[in-house]
Chain A
């Protein structure tokens, strides 16, 4: 059953603590993405990776870090430097088709992060 798995579904962070959100995909997709969603807002891109061992900052990368050691995995760490981390975090992946216009995005079910 192919798809994108995010864990945990709910996560709580204490002051000054780093937390890591997991994202695993078995779709054999090359590209993976992390988005942040705040209530009533559109999604904003945090980081993305087009290939293993390479990643780029998105629009709101400050206070976050990522790694891409395996094609299937793209974990996101929310560091203590992120002062407003409460949000819904979505991981996505895509397969580059023959044409850029064919590229379709698939999403995981999300992780809700809250601050204690």
Chain B
């Protein structure tokens, strides 16, 4: 059964620092991997979706990489800002087929960027 792990559970950095969030998964036969952001008491916002054939995706200051063979993905945030403070979750679809929307989520990394 696919399992998704995110380390660390929490991270605090000073403003302006570049940082990396980690996501690992046990079964490398994935269709894609998504990174989400969640603000306290809010829903999830999709940040990046990397298809299984891709190595990375970029959006502004965010860069997500995918290494299927090692079961890892990283989310790189450049020049962090206090507004980046949120919980970041990664998720993969189950690999038994069917709807790819019933995702398997990690528990998230809570990021705090201090001014």
Residue of A41, A50, A101 near B52 (CB, 8 A) is A101
- Taking a contact as CB atoms under 8 Å apart, the answer to whether A42 and B107 are in contact is yes
Say how far B96's CB is from chain A's closest CB, in angstroms.
Answer: 12
Q: Which residues of B contact A103 (CB under 8 A)?
A: 31-32, 93, 99-101
Q: Which residue of B lies closest to A29 (CB)?
A: B101
Does A110 lie at the interface of the complex (its beta carbon under 8 Å from any beta carbon of B)? yes
The proximity string for A residues 93-106 relative to B, scoring 1 for CB distances below 8 Å and 0 otherwise, is 11010011111111
CB of B43 closer than 8 Å to a CB of A: yes
Q: Which residues on A sit within 8 Å (CB–CB) of B9? A: 40
B57 CB → nearest A CB, Å: 12
A41 CB, min distance to chain B CBs, angstroms: 6
Interface residues of A (CB under 8 A from B): 4, 6, 31, 33, 40-43, 45, 48, 50, 58, 88, 90, 92-94, 96, 99-110, 112
Residues of B at the A interface (CB closer than 8 Å) are: 4, 9, 31-32, 34, 36, 41-46, 49, 51-53, 89, 91, 93, 97-103, 105-108
